[in-house]
């Protein structure tokens, strides 16, 4: 069983120091030369980085290939990799040690690779050697953004705010569950434009009310499409599908059958609602 491992550049500022540190150098995006593989890394805290490898398909959609973690465990730096569709999706761990100015991860029990060695070539480039006794691959990755840009784009590099996390209902990863609702064309045969306009006026007023109550955090229409999808809601602070249905049926356009809906449970950043205070500031006109 092969393990496809992304190039994880573990470059410490002081490579020969006795204290092992999480390599903030990784934060951001890295493009593998002569490959479509891109790695994205986030700083979680002083003891952990999390990342994933992905490619973009012909439609520009992200296709995740593996999930990665670098963490300090019992004083050792450990690389954990979960490759989707391989090794029964099990996590494989490699223990790191400095050898000169190169950080080498090893797992002698794994068939390939057994060894992953990381060497910084310069500020924007790194080389990774992936090998076992029979073969080796040397991969070069180029940073696709500067470290300063990566830090600016990564909110996790700011100090963890426990009070804010609790207020927003965040789990340990800063995430929470929401309800994602797709609004579709309903079964109503109503043709009277006056009635339809009245229902959509009530629809907009209901959106405003739900936002004010903290139940609705994202709403917006789709452009015309073959699926008859009309818009979406992301609902917050609701716990059951029954609660969601009750909220949706309070919408005049839905209640009249002009719009219908599908409900999905969705896992996203707990910080999502924090954009709302700025929404009014960037809106010159109102609906």
Burial of 81: CB neighbours in 10 Å, binned 0-12, 13-18, 19+: buried
- Report in angstroms the alpha-carbon separations of 99 from 102, 118, 231, 235: 5, 10, 55, 51
- What is the signed CA dihedral for 266, 270, 271, 274, rounded to 10 degrees? 80
The pTM of the full predicted model, rounded to 2 decimals, is 0.47
User: Could you tell me which residues are beta bridge partners of residue 205?
Assistant: none
Residues of the chain with CATH 2.40.128.20: 24-159
DSSP category for residue 134: S
> What are the backbone dihedrals phi and psi of residue 147, each rounded to the nearest 5 degrees, phi first?
-60, -40
> What are the backbone dihedrals phi and psi of residue 193, each rounded to the nearest 5 degrees, phi first?
-65, -30
Please state, as a whole number, how many other Cβ atoms lie within 10 Å of the Cβ of residue 283: 9
Pair 63, 54: CB distance under 8 Å: yes
What is the Cα–Cα distance from 236 to 196, expressed in whole angstroms?
Answer: 28
Note down pLDDT in tens along the chain; length 287 residues. 344 444 443 343 333 334 567 777 778 888 999 998 888 888 888 889 898 998 887 777 788 899 999 899 988 999 998 988 887 888 999 999 888 778 888 999 998 899 988 888 888 898 889 999 999 999 999 988 655 555 555 555 556 778 888 989 998 888 999 999 999 999 999 899 999 999 999 999 999 999 999 999 999 999 999 999 999 999 999 999 999 999 999 999 999 999 999 999 999 999 999 888 888 778 877 76
What is the Cα–Cα distance from 39 to 7, expressed in whole angstroms?
Answer: 8
Q: Is the peptide bond before 245 cis (omega within 30 degrees of 0)?
A: no
Residues of the chain with CATH 3.30.70.1060: 175-282
- Report in angstroms the alpha-carbon separations of 205 from 155, 253, 273: 34, 11, 19
Pair 247, 179: CB distance under 8 Å: no
Domain 175-282 falls in which CATH fold?
Answer: Alpha-Beta Plaits (3.30.70)
Cα-Cα end-to-end distance for the chain: 57
DSSP category for residue 80: E
Outline where the chain has alpha helix (H).
147-153, 162-168, 193-212, 241-248, 252-255, 276-279
Domain 24-159 falls in which CATH fold?
Answer: Lipocalin (2.40.128)
């Amino acid at each position: 069983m092969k393990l496809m491992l992304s190039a994880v550049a573990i470059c410490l500022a002081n490579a020969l120091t006795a204290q092992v540190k999480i390599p903030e150098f990784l934060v951001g995006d890295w493009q593998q030369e002569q490959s479509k593989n891109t790695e994205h890394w986030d700083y979680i805290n002083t003891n952990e980085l999390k990342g994933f490898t992905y490619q973009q398909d012909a439609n520009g959609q992200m296709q995740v290939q593996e999930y990665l973690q670098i963490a300090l465990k019992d004083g050792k730096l450990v690389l954990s990799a979960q490759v989707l569709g391989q090794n029964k999706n099990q996590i494989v761990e490699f223990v790191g040690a400095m050898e000169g100015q190169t950080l080498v991860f090893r797992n002698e029990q794994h068939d390939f690779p057994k060894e992953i060695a990381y060497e910084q070539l310069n500020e924007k480039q790194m080389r990774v050697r992936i090998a076992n006794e029979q073969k080796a691959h040397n991969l070069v990755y180029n940073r696709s953004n500067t470290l300063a840009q990566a830090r600016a784009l990564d909110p996790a590099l700011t100090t963890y705010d426990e009070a804010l996390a609790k207020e927003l209902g965040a789990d340990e990863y800063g995430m929470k569950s929401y309800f994602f609702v797709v609004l579709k064309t309903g079964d109503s045969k109503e043709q009277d434009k006056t009635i339809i306009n009245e229902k959509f006026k009530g629809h907009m007023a209901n959106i405003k009310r739900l936002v004010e109550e903290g139940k609705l955090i994202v709403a917006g229409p789709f452009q015309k499409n073959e699926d008859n999808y009309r818009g979406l809601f992301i609902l917050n602070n609701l716990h059951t599908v029954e609660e969601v249905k009750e909220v949706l049926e309070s919408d005049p356009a839905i209640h009249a059958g002009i719009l219908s809906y599908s409900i999905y449970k969705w896992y996203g950043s707990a910080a999502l609602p924090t954009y709302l205070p700025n929404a009014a500031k960037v809106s010159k006109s109102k609906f």
